[in-house]
Chains A and B, each alone.
Chain A
Amino acid sequence: MKVKLLSFGITKEMVGGFEKNMELPSGTSVESFLEILKKEFPALKKLTSLRVAVNEEYVEGSHEIMERDEIVLVPPVSGG
């Protein structure tokens, strides 16, 4: 299935770009997705924390990614 990955802050530099279109096996969980991503971009392992948002909401590792989801990497936020 096709998904869109958006990366902000330091993750944009770690994965080499703001927006990527990706192909995932259907039924992929957020946890498995992160494993795939960390294999491809090992720099991600250096982060203090890495959360994932799908369609503008934070999700757990067990959350199942769906076709055409907008997946966002959320490294440690530092607003304010």
Chain B
Amino acid sequence: MATLDDVVAWLRDLAGTMKEHAAELTELDSAIGDADHGTNMARGTAAVAALLDESYDDAAALLKKAGMTLVSTVGGASGPLYGTFFLRMAGPLAGKEQIEAADLGAALRAGVEGIQQRGKAEAGDKTMYDAWAPALEAYDEAVSGGQDVGGSLRAAAEAAAEGRDGTEPLVARKGRASYLGDRSAGHLDPGAASTTLLLESAARTLG
């Protein structure tokens, strides 16, 4: 079970996480992209952190605001994708003061569907979706197995990390890395790495 306060803690932790890992994400993006993913994520999540002193009706309202903020501060491919993710997460959580594991599952699923709709990536395209898809599955399985929010998120984060590592041999078919053709193989996808960080941050804070 998670509350608005937990979500606040999550988004604050997320900004710190992205700042801490910015150079690393940019380094990944240098290899098969344009060397800005870490800067983009750090800028956007810092803008979100600046929203956290205001008060919100519920987690849904905060997540919506966070999504809009990401859309208007990140730019690039990741801005609309992560922005849409948070905007869509808000739907299933509207009006809920207590977020149960199943609620969060529905929110995550809605968010990831948003990413898919925007980006049209499929599994194996070497994008953030390759971290999201197994994470969703692992989350649901954990919930079915009776795990709480924290446990389910830990399972999701672990699956995301595996998905991220699985992008390494892939040849990209979406996003900027796809221009590299075969040369994109042998590198982790930066977006899959930031997705993993996002879920690890959630597991730490929404427990």
Q: Are A and B physically bound partners?
A: no
Residues of A with Cβ closer than 8 Å to B? Answer: none
Query: Which B residues form the contact surface with A (CB < 8 A)?
Result: none
